[in-house]
Amino acid sequence: MLILSRKLNESIIIDGKIVVKVLRIDKDTVKLGIQAPAEVSVHREEIHEAIQRSKSQNGGAQGPQNKPAGPTQQRTDKTVSEPEHNK
């Protein structure tokens, strides 16, 4: 595991394609913005685990939740279009 420290508005870049930026820091919560190509699935861990459980229960059959998000589909449970500023 790689461990990095980042401050507000700083980013990391993964494989030259995925950007993870620190948008906001509150007490014990960090809000991250993730930019990734449409063919890359980005999920919170608990959502990823639910998808994996669903796949195993359905014998690996692909349902709509397993398709990569296209440009018009919402890629995460909450999309932040612009960085939020600390209040």
Beta bridge partners of 21: 11, 33
Residue 86 within a domain: no
**In this structure, are strands 18-26 and 29-35 parallel, antiparallel, or unpaired?**
antiparallel
Residue 76 within a domain: no
Residue 79 within a domain: no
| Number of domains within the chain | 1
Residue 51 within a domain: yes
Residue 80 within a domain: no
pTM: 0.62
Q: Is residue 65 a contact partner of residue 76, using CB atoms and an 8 Å limit?
A: no
Q: What is the pLDDT of residues 35-82, one digit of tens each?
A: 999 999 999 999 999 999 999 998 765 555 444 444 434 454 444 444
Helix, strand, coil % over all residues of the chain, rounded to 5: 20, 25, 60
The rounded distance, in Å, linking the Cα atoms of 59 and 40 is 23
Residue 56 within a domain: yes
